[in-house]
Amino acid sequence: MDIFESCKKDASFDEMLDENNIIKPHWTEVTQAIEKSGLEKLEQKQTEIDWRLEDNGVTYNVYNDPEGTNRRWNLDPIPFVLCEEEWEEVTKGLQQRAKLLSLIFKDLYTEQRLIKEGIIPAEIIFAHKSFMPEVFNFENKEYYTMRFFASDISRGPDGKFWIINDRTQSPSGLGYAIENRLTMNSIIPELYPDVHIKKIAPFLEGYKEMLVNTAHKTSDAPLIALLTPGPHNETYFEHSYLSSYLNLTLVQGEDLLTKNNQLWLKTLSGLKRVDSMIRRVDSKYCDPLELEHDSHLGVAGLVNVLRNNNLSMINPIGIGILENVGLNPFMKNIAKFFLDEDLILPQIATWWCGQKKELDFVLENLDTLLIKKIDRTDNIEIYFGNQLNQEEKNRLIEKINASPNFYVGQEIIDFSTVPSFVENKIEPRNAVIRAFSYLSEEGYKVMPSGLVRVSKQKNSLVVSNQKGGTSKDLWILGQDETIAPAQNIKRHDFLDTRLENISTKRAENLFWLGRYLSRAITTTRMLRFNLKNMLNLHRYEDKNLLKESTQILNICLTHLTMTYPGFLEEEKEIKPFNEINSVIQDVTRVGSLSFTLSMLSNTNASIKNLLSIDSWRVFERIQRSWYAYNKRKIITNREHINALDKLLIYLLAYKELIDESISNDQGLLLYEIGSKLETSLLLISKMRSLLTRKYDKLLEYDILDSMLNSYESYNAYRAHYKSSLDIENVIEFLLFNAKYSKSLLCLIEELLNSLKTLPNSSNRIYLDQFEQSVFKVYSMLKLNNAKKLLICEEEDSVYIHFDEFLAKISTLLAQTSEELTKTYFAHYNE
């Protein structure tokens, strides 16, 4: 018992210990296993859990955190244990709750009997921002059905489970609960071999069946979308995880459009009808046409699609009104009104301040209550009256008196505590369970587990991931063997992952991932080369040659990065290192290396679910090392070079991992097109800056050497040409050599072949506009050679034909990018 000494009961209810500090029967097998293994073994298993979660990329975004938003998910190796009989009673209460909430939802948007018959005050509903008049009284009354919801429950000091919150808007946590169970399954055989718990696989299988069955059947393979706000949302990992686990299509608002009162997904091959949707965007942001007009998260016309019954929505727009805590004081009467039943699960005592008697009670008992707004989307801050000083109380009283309809007071109750593994010891922590339910043909089904969140600090009532809490798996004891959900769930065969069916936004992100990554690699190489060149000036005997060569290379850097005016201003030559430092570190400067890495990071985040764990590890190292490097105020040029060396290695490793981790069906082709296109454009830019001018022999040799080395082609050139550097040979090698994979001809050939395999809905005979541009470039390369391009008058200082040739190719390739965008990413003609 010594190992659990610090868990002995104080004031609150303890899940593991009874009133005599004796371990409860249903905890015996777990506690005996822990005692047998010891703290050292428990710590080892905690390390294994941490490793697995990190390896699987399980994260949670924490807002306004100086350490960064992307936080690793935490899971305690000690579960929350409940006996089967007790959970059955909780299940009945949650099923009743779900049925009641669904009836409230339908009533508020149709007959409104609750308001008309005085069961609830109208102000509670109409003052709440989640009430959406735009979805009132649709002809299809099935719209007002709650098919999935979550409830936060906890045990109070009296030993009863209480409803803390209802989550209907876009309930989160299911994905994390699944991952918690899968992770715990990896340690159960060794740490808890004799413990048998209820499986969650049947629940998840039933949930998937519900998603398919409720979809509008416009084809044999219904398209079910999960609408996400994007990669910066706090639970984006879960959105990505569930879309993969449940065979859903992960989309953002810009992936969709409405047409003919129907919802369509923009794909590479055209528009695909969306049959059903899970919404992880709050209702008010879903339709900028009828709801929040400045929203960029939804799709214009979505409400009208629903109004015309052309889309099934698992959590309908407007259902967020059920999260209104102002309803809590009236739930007993509502249950009597609709069900003629008492509530099985009690709620926290709540007083709505919109009534005079209740307002007076709240103000008189402020020290013993917590205060919150009825609308959590307005302000999620909770005020604990016993933690406020007099000045803070006065300000809060003023706010309540100014808008009493918007506030409630709630009883402060101590949540039950569970044993938690904290810093290599076991201590009690307050816990809240999030339970999940879905609507089946037989009624609401409750998952025999849940997401348990525990407080960060001992005796803290704040249980939140945003506040640093950790999580647990909820174990319901039973005779079922522990089997990972994925091992026991059928995979539906309706998901079509062909290239032509990926969304245009994903395709565009992959295209720009290729472009930004190529740009970052080329920019890093050029910056590193120029810095090394400027630091190795002793190799120049001719100081004029030194000055002119350095100036040409720095001007090339400006053209390459388009950080104008850059080195085109003569005064920059006085302190060239200052300009180079800006091109490296100034993230606000378009074209700088830091800016390019920032754009790469944003694009990368948008396709995170496509990348392997190794890819993300490498990219996170890029971000961490570059962030640490940029934080330093004084950096020597040698340190710049070392940082660029390290960055280049990471970028090249990341590039290789992308090739390994993304399949053609997932859009690798788009990434390769972007990469080849950007590499071609940057090669042309360098050649125009360095090779279109006529130099004397010494300077020409130095520039040719710089061109080859900065393009990592010097050794390949030497293997091909045994003679000294010659401009005609260098141009022939970099532009026209069909056997050198980095030559422009090879890049264009590969680009042309990739473009040919892009999906197109029509059996076209002629080349598309974007193909025509690349084919013209290919023809120009095949019909020319270096000798022909270098013909010029003796007095000319520029190879005019060569410069015009490169300029025309650059223009054609830029047109290719524009035409690709019009054809595949914008759907201008649809």
Inter-residue contact 332 to 343 (CB < 8 Å):
yes
The confidence score (pLDDT) of residue 62 equals 62
The confidence score (pLDDT) of residue 506 equals 87
Sequence-distant (≥ 6) Cβ neighbours of residue 5 within 8 angstroms: none
CA torsion sign for 173, 174, 178, 179 is: negative
Burial of 742 (0-12, 13-18, 19+ CB in 10 A): middle
Inter-residue contact 77 to 50 (CB < 8 Å):
no
Q: How far apart are CA 435 and CA 173, in angstroms?
A: 9
Least confident of 198-212, 649-663, 731-745, 816-830: 816-830
pLDDT band at residue 714, thresholds of 50, 70 and 90? very high
Please determine, for residue 218, whether its predicted confidence score (pLDDT) is greater than 80: no
Residues in the chain: 830
pLDDT band at residue 492, thresholds of 50, 70 and 90? very low
Least confident of 65-74, 555-564, 589-598: 65-74
Q: How far apart are CA 431 and CA 416, in angstroms?
A: 6
Please determine, for residue 485, whether its predicted confidence score (pLDDT) is greater than 50: no
Inter-residue contact 462 to 451 (CB < 8 Å):
no
Please determine, for residue 652, whether its predicted confidence score (pLDDT) is greater than 90: yes
Q: How far apart are CA 329 and CA 324, in angstroms?
A: 11
The confidence score (pLDDT) of residue 490 equals 38
Q: How far apart are CA 788 and CA 805, in angstroms?
A: 11
pLDDT band at residue 802, thresholds of 50, 70 and 90? very high
Q: Which two tokens stand for residue 234?
A: 């706090």
Q: How far apart are CA 616 and CA 608, in angstroms?
A: 8
Q: Among 440, 492, 498, which residue's Cα sits nearest to residue 221?
A: 492
Residue labelled with tokens 């919801």: 149
Neighbours of 582 (CB within 10 A): 16
Q: Among 215, 207, 439, which residue's Cα sits nearest to residue 311?
A: 215
Instruction: Please state the φ and ψ torsions of residue 474, each to the nearest 5 degrees.
Output: -95, 120
pLDDT band at residue 253, thresholds of 50, 70 and 90? very high
Please determine, for residue 767, whether its predicted confidence score (pLDDT) is greater than 60: yes
Mean local confidence (pLDDT), 532-554: 78
Amino acid at residue number 538: H
pTM (2 d.p.): 0.86
pLDDT band at residue 290, thresholds of 50, 70 and 90? very high
Neighbours of 693 (CB within 10 A): 17
pLDDT band at residue 677, thresholds of 50, 70 and 90? very high
Task: Find the helix packing angle between 593-606 and 613-631, rounded to 10°.
Answer: 150
Q: Among 719, 105, 745, which residue's Cα sits nearest to residue 439?
A: 105
Alpha helices in 156-270 (DSSP H): 174-185, 188-191, 201-214, 236-245
In a 3-state reduction of DSSP, which class is residue 36? Answer: helix
Residue of higher predicted confidence among 612 and 238: 238
Neighbours of 6 (CB within 10 A): 13
Mean local confidence (pLDDT), 314-334: 97
Inter-residue contact 448 to 207 (CB < 8 Å):
no
Q: Which two tokens stand for residue 609?
A: 């679910």
In a 3-state reduction of DSSP, which class is residue 265? Answer: strand
The confidence score (pLDDT) of residue 401 equals 95
Mean local confidence (pLDDT), 613-617: 85
Neighbours of 503 (CB within 10 A): 23
Please determine, for residue 748, whether its predicted confidence score (pLDDT) is greater than 90: yes
Please determine, for residue 9, whether its predicted confidence score (pLDDT) is greater than 70: no
Inter-residue contact 353 to 408 (CB < 8 Å):
yes
Least confident of 134-148, 196-210, 656-670, 711-725: 656-670
Least confident of 18-32, 514-528, 623-637, 677-691: 623-637
Each residue of 342-396: pLDDT tens digit?
999 999 999 999 999 999 999 999 999 999 999 887 667 889 998 999 999 999 9
Exposure string of 320-347, with b = 16+ CB inside 10 Å and e = fewer, is: bbbbbbbbbbbbeebbebbeeeebbbbb
Q: Among 158, 476, 147, 146, which residue's Cα sits nearest to residue 345?
A: 158
Residue of higher predicted confidence among 659 and 472: 472
Q: How far apart are CA 411 and CA 447, in angstroms?
A: 28
Mean local confidence (pLDDT), 757-773: 76
Q: How far apart are CA 814 and CA 430, in angstroms?
A: 59
Residue of higher predicted confidence among 276 and 609: 276
Please determine, for residue 465, whether its predicted confidence score (pLDDT) is greater than 70: no
The confidence score (pLDDT) of residue 368 equals 92
Q: Among 329, 316, 317, which residue's Cα sits nearest to residue 124?
A: 329
Q: How far apart are CA 404 and CA 422, in angstroms?
A: 41
Q: How far apart are CA 184 and CA 223, in angstroms?
A: 32
Q: Which letter does DSSP use for residue 151 in this model?
A: E
Sequence-distant (≥ 6) Cβ neighbours of residue 305 within 8 angstroms: 258, 261, 262, 263, 311
Please determine, for residue 761, whether its predicted confidence score (pLDDT) is greater than 80: no
Inter-residue contact 453 to 465 (CB < 8 Å):
yes
The confidence score (pLDDT) of residue 462 equals 53
Neighbours of 788 (CB within 10 A): 11
- What is the average pLDDT score of the chain? 89
Q: Among 96, 92, 119, 98, which residue's Cα sits nearest to residue 108?
A: 119
The confidence score (pLDDT) of residue 534 equals 84
Mean local confidence (pLDDT), 331-345: 97
Please determine, for residue 440, whether its predicted confidence score (pLDDT) is greater than 90: yes
Please determine, for residue 542, whether its predicted confidence score (pLDDT) is greater than 80: no
> Which run of H or E residues covers position 225?
strand 224-227
Please determine, for residue 624, whether its predicted confidence score (pLDDT) is greater than 80: yes
Rg over alpha carbons for the chain, rounded to the nearest Å, is 32
Inter-residue contact 416 to 431 (CB < 8 Å):
yes
Burial of 193 (0-12, 13-18, 19+ CB in 10 A): exposed
Residue labelled with tokens 């991992």: 657
In a 3-state reduction of DSSP, which class is residue 454? Answer: strand
Longest dimension (CA), the chain: 104
pLDDT band at residue 55, thresholds of 50, 70 and 90? confident
pLDDT band at residue 244, thresholds of 50, 70 and 90? confident
Q: Which two tokens stand for residue 372?
A: 């919150």
Q: How far apart are CA 269 and CA 280, in angstroms?
A: 26
Q: What is the separation, in whole angstroms, between the first and last Cα of the chain?
A: 70
Mean local confidence (pLDDT), 597-621: 86
The confidence score (pLDDT) of residue 540 equals 60
Q: Which two tokens stand for residue 516?
A: 């930004």
